């Protein structure tokens, strides 16, 4: 948009795997059931219905414990292709509204409706998408609407199931600060308990400047600044179109004869796979913007999780840090039989567009600050102190 404001939806299905199971077996609706290993007390729950959650059952819980909470819990398993079928239906529906779609995982996606919102109100668009998914496919979802991908993701989590939440930049403090620190998207399941131990209990506590030194006991200054920037709407607000010709991908998977158990062993195997396709990335002179991992447990339950970076990269450490974060956030110590790593949104290193490689991603942080400061000083010396100012955004849905 001319004024730089984007209207981003994050569409997140509510208990997607359970919803698909109910499509194939309507008798499951309004009952307590879980997705996992059928006819067994071994393994863990992938997800469960809202009725099962009322008994304290949740994803990642060992089946043996779940059955202690509810002896009559119904545990089912479906082929992964069943879920993919409805994922593709979901994406095809979104294409009717915009070609700027970014897949977060099999059960979530981001869509930029900035252009469509010039002629239709964003809330009307969101409600229509939500209603069509529920009416046509029996898939309930929550939708967050914001100016950046991060804030849209945070907004979609505020009301579930079937929520519809607009998060204006000016409302971040009121709507998000009271939430638990564990609700910060991407903070990591191992990190938030450490924050809680030192008294950082809410998002407001985390963002309070008086607590900065305490938080830095747990997080690096780079990670801290990144999170603060995200809550201040200073994070990614652009989406790569699905139809880009250079939206290529490479991936590799490995099925193991033995069980892979424990985060340390899983991370080692993922490092082997990452190094394997990283060699291809470098050899073919590609940069990647999205990193994906695939985990399949011994019950053949499969999850695929991705993270899209701010800029294209071929830096191994940056890529593997994403792999590590994705594993930490999505692995629940179940036994695995298959692991996979993929690089998506590839672009040839020699063809990268100018705006993706500029002053702000060509330099490191300290160099950026020096360059920007020099530019501002020279500009003001030449044109006066009032020559530089912050432009005001036009009034939009987010004002």
- pLDDT (0 to 100) of residue 196: 95
pLDDT 10s digits, 92-118: 999 999 999 988 878 899 999 999 999
Asked whether residue 397 is domain-assigned, the answer is no
pTM: 0.67
Same domain, 183 and 329: no
Report yes or no: 341 and 273 within 8 Å, Cβ to Cβ: yes
Nearest to 53 by CA among 106, 14, 12, 11: 14
Can you give the pLDDT at residue 356? 37
Model pLDDT for residues 194-206, shown as the tens digit of each residue: 999 999 999 999 9
Condensed to tens digits (0 to 9), the pLDDT of residues 61-85 reads: 888 999 999 999 999 988 877 888 8
DSSP string, 142-188: EEEEESSHHHHHHHHTTSTTT-EEE--GGGHHHHHTTSBGGGSTTS-
Note the pLDDT of residue 375.
54
The reply to whether 334 falls in a domain is yes
- The predicted structure's pLDDT at residue 370: 47
Q: How many CA atoms lie within 13 Å of 93's alpha carbon, on the beta-carbon side?
A: 22
Distances (CA, A) of 156 to 26, 144, 229, 243: 26, 4, 19, 25
Residue 213 has pLDDT above 70, yes or no: yes
More confident: 316 or 81: 316
Examine the domain organization and report whether 33 and 156 are in the same domain.
Answer: yes
196: domain range?
174-231
**At which residue do the structure tokens 């849209």 appear?**
152
Read off the pLDDT of each residue in 125-138 and give the average, rounded to a whole number. 96
Mean pLDDT confidence for 301-313? 86
State how many domains the chain has.
Answer: 3
What average pLDDT score do residues 238-254 get?
68
Report residue 346's pLDDT band, with 50, 70 and 90 as the boundaries: confident
Q: What is the DSSP string of 6-65?
A: --EEEEEESSHHHHHHHHH-GGGTTS-EEES-TT-S-SB-SEE-HHHHTTT--TT-BHHH
Query: Does 344 lie in the same domain as 282?
Result: yes
325 and 207, same domain (yes or no):
no
Reply yes or no on whether the pLDDT at 391 is more than 60.
Answer: no
Residue 134: CATH number of its domain: 3.30.70.270
The DSSP bridge partners found for residue 292 are 306, 342
Average confidence (pLDDT) over 290-316: 87
Domain boundary among 231, 256, 277: 231
List pLDDT tens digits, range 150-184.
Answer: 999 999 999 988 999 999 999 999 999 999 999 99
Supply the pLDDT for residue 16: 93
Q: What CATH number should be reported for the domain holding residue 286?
A: 3.30.1490.100
195 CB-side CA count, 13 A: 27
What end-to-end distance do the CA atoms of the chain give, in Å? 15
Q: Last residue of some domain: 120, 149, 167?
A: 167
CA 264 to chain CA centroid, Å, is: 23
Q: State both tokens at 266.
A: 């899983």
Q: Can you give the pLDDT at residue 240?
A: 67
Tell me which residues are annotated as active site.
108
């Amino acid at each position: 948009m001319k004024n730089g404001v984007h209207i981003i939806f994050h569409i997140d299905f509510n208990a997607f795997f359970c919803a698909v199971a109910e499509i194939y077996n309507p008798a499951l609706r309004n009952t307590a059931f879980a997705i996992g290993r059928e006819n067994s007390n071994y393994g863990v729950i992938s997800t469960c219905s809202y009725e099962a959650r009322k008994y304290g059952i949740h994803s990642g819980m060992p089946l043996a414990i779940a059955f202690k909470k509810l002896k009559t819990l119904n545990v089912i398993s479906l082929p992964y292709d069943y879920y993919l079928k409805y994922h593709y239906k979901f994406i095809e529906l979104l294409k009717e509204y915009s070609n700027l779609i970014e897949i977060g995982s099999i059960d979530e996606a981001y869509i930029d409706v900035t252009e469509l919102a010039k002629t239709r109100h964003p809330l009307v668009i969101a409600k229509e998408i939500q209603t069509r998914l529920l009416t046509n496919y029996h898939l309930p979802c929550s939708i967050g609407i914001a100016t950046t991908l991060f804030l849209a993701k945070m907004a979609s989590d505020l009301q579930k199931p079937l929520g519809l939440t607009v998060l204006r930049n000016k409302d971040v403090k009121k709507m998000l600060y009271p939430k638990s620190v564990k609700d910060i998207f991407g903070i990591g399941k191992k990190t938030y308990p450490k924050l809680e131990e030192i008294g950082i209990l809410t998002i407001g506590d985390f963002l309070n400047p008086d607590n900065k030194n305490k938080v830095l006991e747990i997080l690096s200054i780079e990670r801290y600044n990144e999170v603060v920037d995200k809550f201040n709407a200073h994070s990614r607000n652009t989406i790569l179109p699905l139809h880009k010709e250079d939206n290529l991908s490479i991936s590799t998977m490995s099925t193991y004869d033995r069980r892979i158990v424990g985060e340390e062993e899983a991370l080692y195997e993922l490092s082997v796979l990452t190094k394997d396709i990283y060699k291809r990335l470098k050899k073919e002179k590609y940069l990647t913007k999205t990193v994906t991992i695939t985990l399949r447990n011994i019950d053949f339950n499969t999850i695929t999780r991705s993270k899209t970076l701010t800029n294209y990269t071929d830096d191994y450490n940056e890529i593997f840090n994403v792999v590590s974060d994705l594993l930490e956030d999505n692995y629940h110590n179940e036994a695995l039989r298959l692991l996979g790593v993929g690089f998506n949104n590839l672009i040839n290193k020699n063809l990268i567009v100018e705006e993706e490689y500029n002053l702000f991603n060509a330099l490191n942080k300290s160099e950026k600050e020096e360059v920007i400061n020099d530019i501002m000083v020279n500009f003001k010396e030449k044109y006066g102190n009032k020559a530089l100012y912050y432009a005001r955004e036009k009034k939009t849905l987010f004002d």
